[in-house]
Amino acid sequence: MPEQKVLLAGTDKHDLTKLAEYQAIGGYGKGLERARAMTSEELIDELQRATLRGRGGAGFPMGRKASLIDRKSSKPKYLVVNADESEPGAFKDRQVMAEVPHRLIEGCLIAAHAIESTSVFIYIRGEYLTEYEILQGAVDEARAAGLFGGVEITVHRGAGAYICGEETALLESLEGKRGQPRPRPPFPPIQGLYYAPTQINNVCTIATVPTILTIGAEEFAKTGVPSSPGTAIFSISGNVVRPGNYELPLGTPMRELIYEHAGGIANGRELKAVIPGGSSVPALTPDQIDVPLDYDSLGAIGTFFGAASLIVVDDRCCMVQLALRSTKFYAHESCGKCTPCRVGTRWMVQILESIENGTATRADLDLLDSVGDNILGKVLCALGEFAVYPVASYLHKWRDEFVAHVEQGGCPFHGSSSLEGILAPSDQHAHAEVLV
Amino acid sequence: MSAELVRVKIDERDVHVPKGTGIVETALAAGIEIPVFCYEPRLGDPVGACRMCLVEVEGMPKLQTGCTLTAQDGMIVKTARTSEKAAAGQNGTLEFILVNHPLDCPVCDKGGECPLQDLTFRYGPGNTRMSYEKLTFEKPIPISPTISLDRERCILCYRCTRFSSDVSEDGQLVAANRGAMSVITTFEDVPYTGAFTGNVTELCPVGALLPTQYRFEGRPWEIVDVPTVCGLCPVGCNINATVRETKVKRILSRNHPEIDEGWICDKGRFAFTHLRAEDRLTQPLQRTRRHGLEEVTWEAAIDEAERLLRAAQGRIVTALSGSETVEQAYALGKLLRAGLGSHQAMLPEEVSGALDGYRLPLSAIRDADAVVVLGDVPVAERAPVVDLWIKSARRKGARILDSADEVGDAERVVLIWSGPGGRGGATVAKLAEKLTLAGREGCGAFYLPTTPNGRGVADAWAACCDDESDEPDSIGLLVVSGDEAAADPNVRALAEQAEATIVLSMFGGLSAGWADLVLPGTSYLERDGTFVNLEGRLQRLRATVTPPCPDELHWIAELAARFDVDVAPYAAAVFAEVSEKVYDGLSFGEVGESAPLRGYPDAAVRVDRPSLPESQAKPGKTEIRLVAYKPLFSGAAVERVTELQFQRPQPEVELSAEDAGWRNIETGDLVTVGSNGNAITLPARVNRRLGKGIARVAIEHANGLGGIVELARAAEEVSA
Amino acid sequence: MTTFFDEVQEIRKRYPAGARSATLPALRLAQEKHGWLSREAIEETADALEVTPAFCYSVASFYDMFHLEPVGRHTIEICTNLPCALCGAQKVVEAFESALGISAGETTADGEVTLRAVECLGGCGYATVVAVDHRYRQNVKAEDAAEIVEGLDA
Ligand SMILES: Cc1cc2nc3c(=O)[nH]c(=O)nc-3n(C[C@H](O)[C@H](O)[C@H](O)COP(=O)(O)O)c2cc1C
Ligand code: SF4
Ligand code: FES
C-alpha cells in the first residue's frame, strides 16, 4: 500500500506553515464551517461516528471522550492538546506541528466547538523550540486573520519531563506545578485543568479532526480498518534503511512498513526485534511482524499500538543492554510520586546492571520478573508499567540471552553489541550529585 | 443536606454509608482497617502516592487505592484480608517502601510509635530481597532549629509538603528533584519558618521529620501522654503533654475537631522547655534594705505577704495577666475582695460578654461563605489556629474580606476582630447586630483577645464578691499576678506609684528592679483548673507535671485563712463555687476531655451595652498608621527557648507596595518611622498584601511608636 | 524597558486569575536572563509570581531543562536513547567529548560549552540527534563533532 496522506496532505507541494497556502488547499474552509454550523451534540455525534481513536497511546475514541465532558458544569471547559511527545521512537507530532500547524489549529477550533470551550492550551515539550516557533507563528497568524471566532489558543512550553505526556501530569504541569499524575477518578472530562471539565487529545488526534469534518465521518471511516479507521503517521527508527515518518492507513502490515517503506534492515543485518509502539511496549520477534498495524491486532498479540512508533532492532543488539538502557530512561523519568514506580524502576536498573556485568544469579532473573509484577497494576499512572512491559518481554522472549549473561558471568556479546557502553543521562546528571 | 445512603460490601460485610464516603472510612465503618501512609483527609484531596491501601474492587481489573476511591451503591470491595491479589499488592508496596529504608528502629525516636514499624511487624516480609546499594543521604539534617529531617527514613508520602502547601500555605517545605532522587527540602539553607511548622513532625508516618527537642528523650514504654489544654493563646488548642520521669518532653496535638482539628502552633508545641528555664523561680524573694531581693522561706514569704496586705488597708490594686486559671483568679479575688474589700483589678485588655449571642465553634469558619477579618494584626500572631480555619474557608471557596460592607448576600457570615481596640468584642458584636447575624445558621463573630483566659479571669473575679468600691486615691499595695502583667509597662508604671508591690512570677528577671515580694508562679502545664477560650468554651487544664514550687491555690488558701476567708486549696472545690455563679452549676468532672461549646446560661442578660465601632484615625495622604503588634513568638516563655529564637520577627517595618512605591522604597532599604520626635530606623519589607496607609512592626522593635506616623526612606548616610 | 517583573505579569495574564501556570514560562525567562537558575534568579521569579522561592525551586528541580547549576554559554545535547543509541550515538558522544576535552555532563573550563547526554529528543528517524543551543542537528555522525564545535559562535 502506498503512503496515504491525510494529516500530512498537501505538504509535498505547499508550505503549509503559511496561512494563505493552507487556505488555498481548503484549510479553515468547509470542515470548520460545517462544524460551526452544528450544535455541540451534532458535532460530537459526527466525531463518534468517525470512531477516531486517540493517537496518543491508549486509543480511546476521541468522540466518546468529548461526550463525557461535564457540559452542565458552571466552570469553563478546556481543550488541551498533548504535544509533549517524548516517547522514545516517536517523532510524528513534531512533523505535524512543523509542517501542518494550521491543520492542528483548525482541529482545535472544531474540537473546542464540540465541547463548548473557548480556551485551548497546546502543551508542547520544551525541547521542540523550532516547532514551537512555527506553531506560535501560525497561531498568531490565524488569530490575526480573525479565524478564532472567540476561541483563544495558548501554546504552553514544557521544560523537559517525559511524564508530562501523561495527561494528568500534563495538567499539573500546565498549572505550574511539578508534573506528577493525579489519581483518577475524577477523570479530566469531569475535573481536569483548574478543576474544570477538560478534553485532552494528542496532536495527531486533533489534527485529524478537520479531515473528518471536511469529508464526513462515513467517508473518513472507509480508510483503515473498521475498528480503527483512518490513517496514522508511523514513526520508524532504529536499524532500518530509510527511517522516518510514513502516513499509512491503519491495518497496514508491519512487514510492509519495515521492508517496503523503510527499506528493510540496514547494513545487511538480521531483524532481531521490533518494539512497535515506542519504547514502552512489549517487543515482537521477527516471526510476529505480519501483524496489521492497528490497535486491536497489536493488542491481540500482547503488545500495544502505543505511539505508532516502531523501533527496529537488528541482531547486533544485546537484549540485556537494551533492557538496561530502556529502564534507565523510565527510572530517570519516574516522577517519584508513587512508591512502586519510584523504587521499583531503580531496583530494576540495579538488577539489570548486575545481570549485564555478570554478578547476577538465576534467582535475580526471577527477582526482576517479580519486581516487575509488583509494579504492574499497582502504580498511579502507566509510566511504571512502561518500564516493565518491554523488559518483561525481553526477559521472556530472549530468555536464553539473559541466562547466558548469568552463566557466562557477563555479556555474551563481548563488547560488540550495538548498545555497548551507551551513556544514559542519569549517569551524568548534575542534580543527582547535589543532594546525595 | 443529608447524602444518600449507599450499600457497600467489604470483605463480605455489608455497610451503609453516605454516597461518596471514602473507602478507607467505609471499611472502618465495617470494622476493617485498610493500612495507609499518604492518606490524611485533613490535608485535602487524597493523592494516592504510597499505594499501601490497595484493594480489589469487583468489576475493576486492576487493584484500586482505597484512599482515592469513594463508596458507590452496590460496590463490592475486598481488602487484603480476603483478597489474595490485594494482599500481594500490599506486600509488594511494603517491600518497596522498605527497600531503601535504613531499618534503624532501635535508634529512631519514632520507634514504638511508628506506623511503618507497626505495619512491617504485621505484614512485612521476614527477609529482604534487596541486595543492592540502598539510597543514602546525609542524615539527619536540620530543616530548622526545631525540626530535623532524616531523608533515608522518608517514604515520600508527601504529607509534610502537602501540609506546607495546602494547610498552612507557607509553601516552604517542598519536594525537590524527580523519581528516586526526590527529597524533601526547604529552599537552600533557609530554615522552615512559620507559625505551624511543627505539625509536620506529627504528620510524618515514619521517623523522618522529628522534633529536635525530643531527640533521644523518650521511649514509648517510659512515657505517658497527659491530656490538657494549651495556655499560650486564647484558642486553647487541645494537647497532650508527653511526660517522662516527671518532666514534660514533648507537646502533641490532641485533635479537638471544633477547635484545632489536630493542628497546634509552634509556640504551643516547642515553648514548653520554659518550665526548666535557668531563671525559673522556686523560692520566694523578698526585698531587703541593702541587698535587694533575697531568697526567703515560704513561711517567711507568706508572713510578709500578710503584713503587706494588712498594711495597705484596703488600698490594693491587682494587675491580672489573663493567664490565670478561673480558679486562681477566683481564689485571689475572694481573698482580696471578700477578705480585704479591695475590688480594683486590671486586665491587659477589655473583656466583654457582648459576643455571647454570636457564639460559634471555630470550625464553623471553615464552612462560611464570607469571612470578614477586621483589624491590622495578622490573625496568626494573635490566635494562630484561627488563621488555619480562615485558610481552609478560602480554599473551600469563601470570600475573605477586610470590610463588612462587602458581605453582600452571603449566607454564612463570620466576623473576626484581630487588632487593637475592639472593646473585648463589643465592637464586633455591634457589627454582627447590624448585619443581623444573631441566630442565623453558620453566622457568628469572634474577637481575638491577647490573653489566653481573659474572659475566664474576668468572670471569676466578678463572681467572687458582689460589693464594689471606688478607686483608691493612692495605691497601698500592687499585686501583680503573672508574668504577662509583670512584663507590661503600664503595670510597671503603677508599681512606681505603689507603696509596695507583690509579684507572682515564674521568672526572676522580670520584676527584679521593683517588686518587694516575689512569689514563684506556675505554668499552665503545671496547673489543674479551667480556661475559657475565645469561643467562650470552658476547658480543662491538667497538671501534667508537679511544679518546682507550691501551687498558687495552696498558698492563696493559706493566706486567705489568715483573713478568715475560706478558699479551698483544690481546683475542683474552687470551681464548684465559681460554677454555681457562672457555669450553671456544672461540675469540674463534667467539663470534659474534649469540651463542648456550652455558651453561657444567662448570655442574653449579660450582654453589655453595645458600643459603636471605634473610628480609627485615618492617615493623611503622606501619613501611615503604624500597627505595633505583639508577635506570636514573643513573651516570657518564648524568650526562654533557644530553639525558638529564629522564629521571632526580624527588626523590620512592613509596608504596602503602594506606600513603598512612590517613596522609592524597596525591601531591605532603611526607613525612618517617627512621630512627635520619637523615631526608629529599620529595614523595610514591602508586602503586596498590605493595605495602603498601613505599616506593621513587631512591638519589640517599635520603641513605643504606634498610630499615625511619618515614614520615609532613611537618609543615605544612615544606610551607608 | 520592561522589567522581568512586568514581563512575568504579562505572562500571568494569559492564564486564569490565581493560577500558577506562569511558573514554567517565568522560570524559563529567569534562566535566559541569568544563564541558570541561581538563588537570586529563583528569588526574583518567586517574587514576581507571588509564591515562595521553595515552590519555584521545587518545580524547577523537577524539569531537566532548568539548570540549578551554572551551565556554559553554549549547550550541546546528544540524544542517547534507544533509537539513536542503536545507530551509534555513543560514538557521537565520544567524538564530542574529545573535541571539547570534557566528559558528558561537564562544562569546558572556560565556561563556554556544556556537553550533555539527554533522553529522546523526538528525532529518532534521523539519528543521531544533537541539540546545539536548542536547535536540532540531525543525522549527526561522529566525524561531524569537530565542525559543530568549531561552528559555535565565540
Ligand atoms: C507516561 C505516559 C506518557 C505519555 N506521553 C504521551 C505523549 O507524549 N503524548 C501523548 O499524546 N500522549 C501521551 N500519553 C497518553 C496520554 O496520557 C493520553 O492518553 C493522551 O494524551 C490522550 O490523547 P488521545 O486520546 O488523543 O490519544 C502518555 C501516557 C503516559 C502514561
Ligand atoms: S518526611 Fe515524612 S511526611 Fe514528609 S514525605 Fe517523608 S515520610 Fe512523608
Ligand atoms: S494511603 Fe492510599 S495511596 Fe497512600
- Pick the residue from chain C with its C-alpha nearest to A235: C125
- The pLDDT value recorded for residue B619 is 64
Q: Which atom of ligand 1 is nearest to the CA of A82?
A: 11
Residue A132 resides in a domain: yes
**C21 contacts on A by Cβ (under 8 Å):** 156, 174-176
Residue B179 has pLDDT above 90, yes or no: yes
Q: Which domains does chain C have, with CATH numbers?
A: 4-62 (1.10.10.1590), 74-150 (3.40.30.10)
How many beta carbons lie within 10 A of that of residue B26, not counting itself? 24
Percent of chain B with pLDDT over 70: 96
With b for 16 or more beta-carbon neighbours within 10 A and e for fewer, the A204-236 pattern comes to bbbbbbbbbbbbebeebbebbbeebbbbbbbbb
Q: Is A328 on the interface with B (CB under 8 A)?
A: no
Does residue A296 share a domain with residue A171?
A: no
- The answer to whether the CB of A424 falls within 8 A of the CB of C82 is no
Does residue A215 share a domain with residue A113?
A: yes
**C123 contacts on A by Cβ (under 8 Å):** 91, 94
Tell me the C-alpha to C-alpha distance, in Å, between residue A168 and each of A185, A232, A407, B69, C59.
11, 24, 44, 17, 16
Tell me which of A204-218, B360-374, B413-427 is least confident. B413-427
Average pLDDT over residues B576-591: 93
Tell me the C-alpha to C-alpha distance, in Å, between residue A102 and each of A361, B399, B583.
56, 42, 76
- The pLDDT value recorded for residue B612 is 41
Q: Residue A85: CB within 6 Å of ligand 1?
A: yes
Indicate which CATH number applies to the domain containing A258.
Answer: 3.10.20.600
H or E stretch including B149? strand B147-149
- The pLDDT value recorded for residue B665 is 93
Does residue A268 share a domain with residue A218?
A: no
Average pLDDT over chain B reads: 92
CA B52 to chain CA mean position, Å: 33
3-state secondary structure of B606: helix
Looking at CA atoms only, how far is residue B89 from chain A in angstroms?
Answer: 7
In sequence order, what are the residues at sequence separation of 6 or more whose Cβ sits closer than 8 angstroms to the Cβ of residue C149?
C76, C96, C99, C100, C113
Residue B522 has pLDDT above 50, yes or no: yes
Looking at CA atoms only, how far is residue A303 from chain B in angstroms?
Answer: 18
Residue A152 resides in a domain: yes
- The pLDDT value recorded for residue A54 is 96
Ligand 1 pocket test, pick from A67, A123, A167 with the greatest ligand atom count within 8 Å of Cβ, gives A167
- The pLDDT value recorded for residue B610 is 38
- The pLDDT value recorded for residue B716 is 61
Cβ of C136 and A130 within 8 Å? yes
* Nearest Cα residue to A380 out of A348, A352, A343, A328: A343
Q: Is B677 on the interface with A (CB under 8 A)?
A: no
Q: Cell numbers 556544556 label which residue?
A: C114
3-state secondary structure of A171: helix
- Better pLDDT: A210 or C153: A210
- Supply the residue whose CA is at minimum distance from atom 8 of ligand 2: B157
Does residue A67 share a domain with residue A199?
A: yes
Q: What is the pLDDT of residues B457-508, one digit of tens each?
A: 999 999 988 887 777 789 999 999 999 999 998 999 999 999 999 999 999 8
Residue A172 resides in a domain: yes
Cβ of C59 and A176 within 8 Å? yes
Size of interface B-C (CB pairs under 8 A): 37
Does residue A214 share a domain with residue A148?
A: yes
Residue A245 has pLDDT above 90, yes or no: yes
Q: Residue C72 — very low, low, confident or very high, per pLDDT cuts 50/70/90?
A: very high
Amino acid at B114: C
- The pLDDT value recorded for residue B618 is 62
Query: From CA B394, how far away is CA B166, in angstroms rounded?
Result: 11
User: How high is the ipTM of this complex?
Assistant: 0.95
One DSSP character per residue, C81-150 reads: SHHHHHTTHHHHHHHHHHHHTS-TT-B-TTS-EEEEEES--S-GGGPSPEEETTEEE-S--GGGHHHHHH
> For helices C23-34 and C39-49, what crossing angle results, to 10°?
140
Query: From CA B552, how far away is CA A345, in angstroms rounded?
Result: 63
Q: Is A74 on the interface with C (CB under 8 A)?
A: no
For an interface test with C, which of A78, A92, A119, A127 has the most C Cβ atoms less than 10 Å from its Cβ? A127
**Entry field: residues in chain C:** 154
**A122 contacts on C by Cβ (under 8 Å):** none
Q: Which atom of ligand 3 is nearest to the CA of B35?
A: 1
Q: Cell numbers 514513526 label which residue?
A: A235
Q: Which domains does chain B have, with CATH numbers?
A: 5-97 (3.10.20.740), 133-276 (3.30.70.20), 285-350+454-591 (3.40.50.740), 353-447 (3.40.1010), 623-719 (2.40.40.20)
- The pLDDT value recorded for residue B617 is 57
Indicate which CATH number applies to the domain containing A349.
Answer: 1.20.1440.230
Query: From CA B92, how far away is CA B124, in angstroms rounded?
Result: 9
- The pLDDT value recorded for residue A421 is 96
Burial class (CB in 10 A: 0-12, 13-18, 19+), A270: exposed
Q: Is B205 on the interface with A (CB under 8 A)?
A: no
Residue A429 resides in a domain: no
Domain stops at, among A263, A289, A314: A314
Query: From CA B465, how far away is CA B334, in angstroms rounded?
Result: 7
Does residue A379 share a domain with residue A286?
A: no
Q: Cell numbers 502543551 label which residue?
A: A123
Does residue A152 share a domain with residue A40?
A: yes
C-alpha cell belonging to residue B508:
526572676
Does residue A171 share a domain with residue A24?
A: yes
Residue A9 resides in a domain: no
Does residue A113 share a domain with residue A57?
A: yes
Query: From CA B226, how far away is CA B240, in angstroms rounded?
Result: 5
Tell me the C-alpha to C-alpha distance, in Å, between residue C141 and each of A264, C107, C126.
21, 22, 11
Q: Residue B184: CB within 6 Å of ligand 2?
A: yes
Amino acid at C5: F
Of C50, C53, C62, the CB nearest to B187: C53
Residue A436 has pLDDT above 70, yes or no: no
Looking at CA atoms only, how far is residue B641 from chain C in angstroms?
Answer: 27
Q: Is A122 on the interface with C (CB under 8 A)?
A: no
Query: From CA A358, how far away is CA A404, in angstroms rounded?
Result: 9
Query: From CA A352, how far away is CA A402, in angstroms rounded?
Result: 10
Query: From CA B234, how far away is CA B452, in angstroms rounded?
Result: 4
H or E stretch including B91? helix B84-99
Q: Residue B591: CB within 6 Å of ligand 2?
A: no
Q: Residue A200: CB within 6 Å of ligand 1?
A: yes
Q: Between the ranges B29-43, B125-139, B465-479, B681-695, where is the mean pLDDT highest? A: B29-43
| Chain A residues 39-58 with a CB less than 8 Å from chain B | none
One DSSP character per residue, B175-235 reads: EESSGGG-EEE-STT----STTTTHHHHH-SSSSEEEGGGTTT--GGG-EEEEEE--SSTT
Average pLDDT over chain A reads: 96
Query: From CA B520, how far away is CA A82, in angstroms rounded?
Result: 70
* Nearest Cα residue to B632 out of B466, B490, B467, B448: B448
- The answer to whether the CB of A235 falls within 8 A of the CB of A310 is yes
Q: How far is the CA of B157 from the centre of ligand 3 (A)?
A: 8
Cβ of A340 and B93 within 8 Å? yes
C-alpha cell belonging to residue A320:
540485556
Average pLDDT over residues B165-173: 97
Q: What is the pLDDT of residues B551-570, one digit of tens each?
A: 999 999 999 999 999 999 99
Q: Which atom of ligand 2 is nearest to the CA of B38?
A: 8
Question: From the CA of A122, which ligand is nearest?
Answer: 1
**A333 contacts on C by Cβ (under 8 Å):** 119
Residue A4 resides in a domain: no
Residue A435 resides in a domain: no
**A424 contacts on C by Cβ (under 8 Å):** 80, 117
Q: What is the pLDDT of residues B604-637, one digit of tens each?
A: 434 343 344 445 556 667 788 999 999 999 999 9
Q: How far is the CA of B139 from the centre of ligand 2 (A)?
A: 14
Average pLDDT over residues B431-444: 94
Does residue A293 share a domain with residue A252?
A: yes
Q: What is the 3-state secondary structure (H, E, C) of B631-700?
A: CCCCCHHHHCCHHHHHHCCCCCEEEEHHHHHHHCCCCCCEEEEEECCEEEEEEEEEECCCCCCEEEEEHH
Average pLDDT over residues A209-221: 97
Q: Which atom of ligand 3 is nearest to the CA of B34?
A: 1
Q: What is the pLDDT of residues B584-600, one digit of tens each?
A: 999 999 998 999 998 77
Count of domains forming chain A: 3
Average pLDDT over residues C102-121: 96
**Residue A396 sits in which domain range?**
319-422
In sequence order, what are the residues at sequence separation of 6 or more whose Cβ sits closer than 8 angstroms to the Cβ of residue B173?
B143, B160, B161, B163, B164, B184, B185, B186, B192, B197, B200, C54
Indicate which CATH number applies to the domain containing A43.
Answer: 3.40.50.11540
Does residue A298 share a domain with residue A236?
A: yes
Domain stops at, among A176, A194, A222: A222
Residue B570 DSSP symbol: S
- The pLDDT value recorded for residue B707 is 87
- Better pLDDT: B512 or B238: B238
3-state secondary structure of B22: strand
Average pLDDT over residues B255-283: 97
One DSSP character per residue, C62-81 reads: TSTTS-SS---SEEEEEE-S
Tell me the C-alpha to C-alpha distance, in Å, between residue B620 and each of B153, B278, B627, B656, B710.
57, 48, 15, 15, 10
For an interface test with A, which of B24, B39, B94, B96 has the most A Cβ atoms less than 10 Å from its Cβ? B96
Residue A13 resides in a domain: no
Residue B715 has pLDDT above 80, yes or no: no
Residue B602 has pLDDT above 70, yes or no: no
Q: What is the pLDDT of residues B352-410, one digit of tens each?
A: 889 999 999 999 999 999 999 998 899 999 999 999 999 999 999 999 999 999 999 99
Does residue A407 share a domain with residue A262?
A: no
